[in-house]
Chains A and B, each alone.
Chain A
Amino acid sequence: MTNNATLNNVHLSPGQRSWLRFKANKRGYISLWLFAILFLLSLFAEVLFNDKPLIVSYQDELFFPFIKAYPETAFGGDFDTEADYSDPYVRDLITAGDNWVIDPLIHYSYNTINFRSELPNPAPPTGQNLLGTDDRGRDVFARLVYGFRISVLFAFALTAIGVVIGILAGAVQGYFSGRLDLIMQRLIEVWSSMPELYLLIIFASIFQPSIWLLIILLSMFGWMGLSDYVRAEFLRGRNMDYVRAARAMGQSDVAIMRHHLLPNSMTPVITFLPFRISGSILALTSLDFLGLGVPPTTPSLGELLAQGKENIEAWWLSLGTFIVLVGTLMLLIFIGEALREAMDTRKH
Chain B
Amino acid sequence: MPGKLIQVENLKVTFRTQGGDIEAVRGVSFEISQSENVAIVGESGSGKSVTALSLLKLHDPKQVDYPDGRIIYAQRDLMLASEDEMRAIRGKDISMIFQEPMTSLNPVYPVGVQIQETLKLHRNMDRAAARKIAIDLLDRVGIREPQHKVDSFPHMLSGGQRQRAMIAMALACDPVLLIADEPTTALDVTVQQQILELLKDLQRDTGMSVLLITHDLNLVRRFADRVCVMHEGQIVEQANSAELFRQPRHSYTRYLLDSEPESRIAEIEPGKDIVIQAENVRVYFPIKKGFFKRKVGEVRAVDDIDVTLKRGETLGIVGESGSGKTTLGMALLRMLDSTGQIRFREHVISDYREQQMRPLRRFFQIVFQDPFSSLSPRMTVEQIVGEGLKLHYPELNKTQRYDRIVTTLKEVGLDESALWRYPHEFSGGQRQRIAVARTVILEPDVILLDEPTSALDVSVQKQVLSLLSELQVKHKLSYLFISHDLRVVRAMSHRVIVMREGKVVESGAVADVFDNPQQSYTQELAKASIYH
Chain A residues packing against B (C-beta within 8 Å) = 1, 3-4, 7, 11-14, 240-242, 244-252, 255, 259-260, 263-264, 266, 345-346
Contact = CB atoms under 8 A, between A and B. Distances in A.
Contacts of A252: 358
Interface in B357-383: 357-362, 364-366, 368-370, 373-380
B475 to A, nearest CB: 17
Given A4-B402, A250-B357, A241 B368 contact: yes
Contacts of B360: 250
Please indicate which of the listed interface residues A14, A252, A264 has the most CB atoms of chain B within 10 Å of its own CB: A14
Contacts of A264: 376-378
Contacts of B448: 248
B252 interface: no
Given A1-B398, A264-B378, A345-B377, A245 B366 contact: yes
Contacts, number: 88
Given A11-B417, A11-B419, A248-B361, A263 B378 contact: yes
Contacts of B424: 345-346
Contact of B387 (A4, A13, A259): A259
B519 interface: no
B391 A7 contact: no
B227 to A, nearest CB: 35
A250 B359 contact: yes
Given A4-B398, A241-B368, A248-B335, A345 B376 contact: no
9 contacts: A7-B419, A11-B417, A241-B374, A245-B366, A246-B387, A249-B442, A250-B359, A250-B362, A263-B379
Contacts of B420: 7, 11-14
A1 B400 CA distance: 10
B388 interface: yes
A249 B388 contact: yes
Interface string B423-463: 01000000000010010001000001000000000000000
B399 interface: yes
Contact of B366 (A12, A244, A346): A244
B15 interface: no
A255 B388 CA distance: 12
A251 to B, nearest CB: 6
B365 A3 contact: no
A246 B390 CA distance: 12
Determine the main DSSP class of A at the interface with B. Answer: helix
Contact of A245 (B374, B377, B380): B374
Contacts of B376: 242, 260, 263-264
A236 to B, nearest CB: 11
A7 B333 CA distance: 38
Contacts of B388: 249-250
Question: What 6 pairs across the A-B complex have the smallest Cβ distances?
Answer: A250-B361, A241-B374, A263-B378, A11-B420, A241-B368, A250-B358
Interface of B: 333, 335, 357-362, 364-366, 368-370, 373-380, 387-388, 391-392, 398-399, 402-403, 416-417, 419-420, 422, 424, 435, 438, 442, 448
Nearest to A255: B391
Given A14-B380, A263-B379, A247 B435 contact: no
Contact of B373 (A13, A241, A346): A241
A266 B373 CA distance: 17
Contacts of A263: 376, 378-379
A266 B365 CA distance: 28
Contacts of B373: 240-242
Contacts of A13: 420
Nearest to A16: B420
Contacts of A12: 420
A245 B435 contact: yes
Contacts of B442: 249
A259 B380 CA distance: 12
B368 A245 contact: yes
Nearest to B416: A7
Given A244-B368, A248-B448, A263-B379, 4 more contacts: A12-B420, A240-B374, A245-B368, A266-B378
A345 B380 CA distance: 10
Contacts of A4: 398-399, 402
Contacts of B416: 7
B332 to A, nearest CB: 12
Nearest to B360: A250
B345 to A, nearest CB: 16
Contacts of B369: 241
Given A7-B419, A345-B377, A241 B370 contact: yes
A3 B358 CA distance: 32
Contacts of A266: 378
B392 A250 contact: yes
Please indicate which of the listed interface residues A4, A13, A247 has the most CB atoms of chain B within 10 Å of its own CB: A247
Contacts of B359: 250
Contacts of B370: 241
A148 B445 CA distance: 62
Given A242-B375, A249-B387, A346 B361 contact: no
Nearest to B367: A245
Contacts of A244: 335, 366, 368, 374
Contact of B335 (A11, A247, A251): A247
B422 A346 contact: yes
Contacts of B377: 264, 345-346
A346 B361 CA distance: 31
A248 B374 contact: no
A346 B435 CA distance: 19
A255 B375 CA distance: 16
Please indicate which of the listed interface residues B368, B369, B398 has the most CB atoms of chain A within 10 Å of its own CB: B368
Nearest to B365: A248
A3 B402 contact: yes
Nearest to A260: B376
A13 B382 CA distance: 11
Nearest to A239: B373
Given A244-B366, A249-B387, A345 B378 contact: yes
A272 to B, nearest CB: 18
Contacts of B399: 1, 3-4
A45 B362 CA distance: 57
A248 B364 contact: yes
B333 A248 contact: yes
